[in-house]
């Protein structure tokens, strides 16, 4: 194929356990970085501390994770699939729904009346 074809992939995900997501992203980050690190016999925890500190600088702490950076670690592969060149990746938080943004202004959404607006007209 002479030229390339550009494409975009979008995933919409729900994060229901940010700490589990952070743990997984750290594992991916460490796994990709470990082959390039040298184990120090004199200080065996140095590599782990260095990887952890680098990850926290990029993705935040486990108690306050940077959701978007964690998602990029999880879904942007270290190596490109065969025949594909990943040029860039982004992750952004979806805007809150009206129910989430204005919980005190949304009334009970029980059964509507026959006119669809809550009143029973005949």
d(CA 94, CA 65): 16
Cβ contacts of 28 within 8 Å, gap of 6 or more = 73, 74, 78
The mean predicted confidence, pLDDT, of the chain is: 80
Q: Inform me whether the pLDDT recorded for 121 exceeds 80.
A: no
Q: Provide the pLDDT for residue 94.
A: 84
Give the pLDDT of residue 37. Answer: 66
pLDDT 10s digits, 47-102: 778 888 999 999 999 999 999 999 999 998 778 889 988 888 888 888 877 777 77
Please choose, from the candidates 34, 29, 80, the residue with its C-alpha nearest in 3D space to the C-alpha of residue 58. 29
pLDDT digits (tens, 9 = 90+) for 1-33: 457 888 888 888 999 999 999 999 998 888 877
Question: Given a cut of 80, is residue 117 above it in pLDDT?
Answer: no
For the chain, state the CA radius of gyration: 23
Alpha carbon separation from 53 to 64, 76, 82 (Å, rounded): 14, 21, 32
pLDDT of residue 41: 67
Separation in Å, CA 36 to CA 28, 64, 85: 14, 28, 22
> For position 106, what pLDDT does the model report?
58
Q: The whole model's pTM is what? A: 0.67
Rounded to whole angstroms, the Cα distance separating 3 from 21 reads: 37
User: Torsions phi, psi of 65, nearest 5?
Assistant: -70, 150
């Amino acid at each position: 194929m002479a030229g390339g074809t550009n494409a975009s992939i979008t995933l919409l995900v729900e994060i229901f356990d940010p700490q589990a997501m952070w743990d997984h992203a750290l594992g991916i980050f460490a796994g990709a970085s470990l082959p390039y690190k040298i184990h120090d016999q004199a200080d065996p925890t140095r590599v782990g501390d260095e990887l952890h500190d680098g990850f926290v600088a990029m993705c935040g702490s486990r108690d306050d994770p940077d959701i978007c950076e964690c998602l990029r670690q999880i879904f942007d592969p270290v190596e490109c699939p065969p025949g594909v060149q990943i040029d860039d990746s982004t992750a952004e938080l979806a805007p809150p729904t009206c129910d989430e943004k204005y919980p005190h202004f949304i009334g009970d959404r029980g059964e509507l009346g026959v006119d669809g607006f809550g009143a029973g007209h005949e």
